[in-house]
Amino acid sequence: MKKRWAAIALTGMMAVSVFAGTVSTASKVSAASVSVTAQKGSAVNIANEQKVINNIIQTGKSLIGQARYSHTYNASYTMDCSGFTYYIFKKNGIDLKTRDDDKQVSYGKYVPKNQLKAGDLIFYNANKPRQDVTHVGIYIGDGKVLHMANSSSNVTISKLSSSWHTKNYLTARRIIQ
C-alpha cells in the first residue's frame, strides 16, 4: 500500500499532520526542528525555550565587531536595530515576521520591566511626546541589553540602568516561553 500524506500544518503551537484520515498532533514544537512564527499578543511555547534563548543571545553576541549599523538590511552584515532582532531570532527558528520595530512591538506578550528575563525584547521611544517605537534590543539578563545601537557602536551590550535606556524605555515583550 502506498502511503500518502494529505497535509502538514502548524496551527498555533500544534503540529498537525493528516495521514489517510488519521490526525496526529504534538503539543510542543521545538524551534530547532520547526520554524516557529511569533504571535501577536501572546508568547509562543516551545519545548527547549532556554536553549533557544541562549542560542539567540549567542548569535547576537557573535555579531559584535562583525555587523554594521545600516538601514539597508543584508543578513549578518548590515542592519538596523529591528533588523538585528529579526536576524538573531530568525537564525534560531523564530520568525518575528517583520524588520519594523513599530510592528515587532505587537508580537509576544507584555512583560513588566521588573519581570524581564533573558530573551525578552525591549522597546524604546526617543521621540517623546510621540508614542512610536524608535529602538529595540534584547534583554540578556543581569540588567543588560544586547542591541544594534547606532553607526558608532554597532552591536553592543548596554546597561538597562544607563540614563538613555532608563529615559527612553517604552515596553517589553516576551516572544517565546
Instruction: Quick: pLDDT tens for 79-120.
Output: 999 999 999 999 999 999 999 999 999 999 999 999 999 999
pLDDT tens, residue by residue, 137-167: 999 999 999 999 999 999 999 999 999 999 9
Contacts of 94 (CB under 8 A, 6+ apart): 31, 36, 37, 38, 44, 52, 56, 175, 176
Question: What's the pTM value of the predicted model, to 2 decimals?
Answer: 0.81
**With 0-12 CB in 10 A as exposed, 13-18 as middle and 19+ as buried, what is 85?**
buried
Which one-letter DSSP state was computed for residue 156?
Answer: E
Q: Which residues face 146 on adjacent strands?
A: 138, 157
